Amino acid sequence: MGDLDLVRPTGLDGFDDLFRDADARRKPIGVAAAGGDDPTVIQALRIAADRGWVRPVLVGPEARIREVAESQGLALDGFRIVSAEGDAVARTAVDLVRAGEVSALMKGQIATPALMAPVLDPAAGLRTGRTICQVVLMEIPRDGRRFLLADTGITVRPDLRRRVDILRQAVEVAQALGSERPRVALMAATESVKTEMPETVEADEIARRNRQGEFPDCVIEGPLSFDLAYATDAGARKGIGGSVVGAADVMVFPNLLAANLTVKAIMYTADCRFGGVLRGTSAPVVFMSRADSVETRLHSLALALRIIDAEPATP
């Protein structure tokens, strides 16, 4: 699997491209970190601010934020601190987005349920009417492969309508990353359609709709197993062809269990680079794990910046 002739390089821009574009920004954007009392959050935002990417706003207990920064030898020049504790941390960060004071939200030292409660608030959150999902950009330098995985963090068991919306939003991210007509794999444990595996029936239905002209901005094939979506030799051995086989730009999973297990298996066992954001919200949410490294936080920030820059300007 490690031989480059077994995989097709894809058309998505990678993190080197995203960093280059972020470094060329003329104007930094405001980013509010919910749970700013975390050394990796402060360090990542310090680097991003010094490179001209962002204007950081740290939301959390002010004394703790300053203590963490001092312990890491990190200056807070150019940072704004909004003091908040407990449930007010996420609520305050979301309010900053809603007020237009920042253009993106970052998950810091805060549990996912605590952050998502105000994000999902129907009256005062960041809902848009679309399915909120996590999209992760994965880069495997060994194989020259870059691809998106969705939904790796939010929707537990999407129905057909939500799965299609997740697909559409992942395609939009792929287009922001430079792929004009992304290749989408609908993931399953097998490439065969089996009634006892409803996700395969659903995948076959979505692929059929694509062949009939729906979703013209992408090419969809499925159901496909991971090996078929990732490596061309798997298709050759199984006698399965198609433009998506070995070249998926986007992998859309049937449920959170499959997506989360896959992305974490790659994260912890492969030589890879990755970053993630939430889509379906009114502003990008830089969203991976509280255990993220500084590097991963910067990857996620750079991805969010590209998405913001690709969105149509507000009149």
pLDDT tens for the chain, residues 1 to 315 = 344 345 555 589 999 999 999 999 999 999 999 999 999 999 999 999 999 999 999 999 999 999 999 999 999 999 999 999 999 999 999 999 999 999 999 999 999 999 999 999 999 999 999 999 999 999 999 999 999 999 999 999 999 999 999 999 999 999 999 999 999 999 999 999 999 999 999 999 999 999 999 999 999 999 999 999 999 889 889 999 999 999 999 999 999 999 999 999 999 999 999 999 999 999 999 998 767 899 999 999 999 999 999 987 654
Domain assignment present for residue 272? The answer is yes
Q: What's the DSSP call for residue 41?
A: H
Closest by CA position to 130, among listed 103, 151, 113: 151
**Separation of alpha carbons 39 and 76, rounded Å:** 12
pLDDT at 275: 97
H or E segment and range at residue 312: none
pLDDT at 277: 98
Range of the domain at 286: 4-182+249-310
For the entire predicted model, the pTM comes to 0.94
Helix, coil or strand: residue 251:
strand
**Separation of alpha carbons 69 and 220, rounded Å:** 47
Residue type, 315: P
H or E segment and range at residue 196: none
What are the respective helix, strand and coil percentages of the chain, to the nearest 5? Answer: 40, 20, 40
Domain assignment present for residue 194? The answer is no
Domain assignment present for residue 26? The answer is yes
pLDDT at 8: 52
DSSP code string of 42-93: HHHHHHHHHTTSEEEEEEE-HHHHHHHHHHTT---TT-EEEE--TTHHHHHH
Helix, coil or strand: residue 230:
helix
* Residue linked to tokens 């490179």: 51
Domain assignment present for residue 155? The answer is yes
CB under 8 Å to 51, separation ≥6 — which residues?
Answer: 22, 23
pLDDT at 9: 52
E strands present in the chain = 29-34, 54-60, 80-83, 104-107, 133-140, 145-150, 183-187, 219-224, 250-252, 273-279, 285-286
Closest by CA position to 148, among listed 131, 169, 128: 169
Domain assignment present for residue 37? The answer is yes
**Separation of alpha carbons 302 and 284, rounded Å:** 11
Phi then psi for residue 146, to 5 deg, are: -135, 135
Helix, coil or strand: residue 311:
coil
Domain assignment present for residue 158? The answer is yes
CB under 8 Å to 214, separation ≥6 — which residues?
Answer: none
**Separation of alpha carbons 36 and 17, rounded Å:** 27
Domain assignment present for residue 284? The answer is yes
The alpha carbon dihedral of 217, 187, 292, 95 has a sign of positive
How many domains does the chain contain in total?
1
Phi then psi for residue 224, to 5 deg, are: -135, 140
Domain with residue 35: its CATH number is 3.40.718.10
Quote the distance between the C-alpha of residue 223 and its chain's center. Answer: 22
Cis amide leading into 118 (omega within 30) = no
Domain assignment present for residue 177? The answer is yes
Helix, coil or strand: residue 293:
coil
Residue 252 tokens read as: 């859309």
pLDDT at 5: 43
